[in-house]
Amino acid sequence: MATGQYLQLKITLKDTHPPVWRRVLIPDDMRLDKLHLVIQVLFGWENAHLHQFWNTQARDLFFVPSFDEDFMGDEELESDVKALDELEFGNLIYQYDFGDDWQHQIHLEKIIEADTTAVPFVPYCLTGRGANFEEDSRRDDGMRGDEFNRDKINATLKKMFPQSKKSRKKASAKTKAVPAKIDPALAKLAEILKEEDTLKAIVNKKNKAFLIELMNQPVAGATILKLVELLLETHPPKR
């Protein structure tokens, strides 16, 4: 899993009615050549045609993989441009298949701290709407392909962008349980539960152990405290 920050993008296939779009999280250091692969998966394309990115503000071209008669250019563009470097200034357009001219508008919705999300990996498709289009179908009014399937998309993205061993170790370390400190007041109540015959009669042995275990958890502590206070009020311990 990537660390740092994630970019939440909404990618919309232009001139589609109703709109076909996908929302995806990507690492903040993702290059345009990698984003190209993500978009191919999101929209079910087969990577069978040329593509390019440009900035909607200046129409500066950023990346094409190679040249042929479909592309009128005089120099090969760089592939190591980071998506964030351009998205900070406005939307990007990803054009796929210069003949059919499928244009995808890429909008940066927000930047998210990686440790505040619950996604298991990135890139990760959050949601979307609208079926894919078939390759080479623009002249046939855009024949529809597979329906949007988030699970299938994410399974493909996970295989395409495997986590490194280092990232897996970091993720494992983050999720490793850390023993909670026991509040002295709760520890004292635990002793009361262990020793007082009156409370033992109310809380059977199994549930008593469960309550004592819960007392070690900070989130549950206040709730257990109220429960024990109620028990002490209704059945005061013998002196």
- Do residues 11 and 83 both lie within one domain? yes
Is the Cβ–Cβ distance between 174 and 159 less than 8 Å? no
Question: Does residue 159 sit within a domain?
Answer: yes
Number of domains in the chain: 2
Q: Is the pLDDT of residue 156 over 90?
A: yes
Which residue range(s) make up the domain with 224? 184-234
Pairing, β 92-96 against β 124-129: unpaired
- Do residues 197 and 120 both lie within one domain? no
> Measured over all CA atoms, what is the biggest interatomic distance in the chain, rounded to whole angstroms?
96
- Do residues 167 and 120 both lie within one domain? yes
Phi-psi region of 190 (alpha: psi -120 to 50; beta: other; left: phi over 0): alpha
- Do residues 17 and 87 both lie within one domain? yes
Question: Does residue 179 sit within a domain?
Answer: no
Backbone angles phi, psi at 130, to 5 degrees: 95, 140
Question: Does residue 124 sit within a domain?
Answer: yes
Comparing CA positions, the residue from 15, 8, 31 lying closest to residue 95 is: 15
Domain containing residue 62: CATH number: 3.10.290.30
Contacts of 36 (CB under 8 A, 6+ apart): 51, 53, 63, 94
Over residues 68-114, the pLDDT tens digits come to 444 444 444 556 789 999 898 899 999 999 899 999 999 999 999 99
Contacts of 90 (CB under 8 A, 6+ apart): 55, 56, 57
- Do residues 106 and 214 both lie within one domain? no
In whole angstroms, what is the distance from residue 10 CA to residue 182 CA?
45
pTM of the model: 0.65
Is the Cβ–Cβ distance between 7 and 107 less than 8 Å? no
- Do residues 39 and 149 both lie within one domain? yes
pLDDT at site 238: 54
- Do residues 141 and 38 both lie within one domain? yes
- Do residues 58 and 125 both lie within one domain? yes
Given the structure tokens 């190591």, which residue do they identify? 80
- Do residues 145 and 218 both lie within one domain? no
Q: Is the pLDDT of residue 121 over 90?
A: yes
Over residues 189-203, the pLDDT tens digits come to 556 555 555 444 444
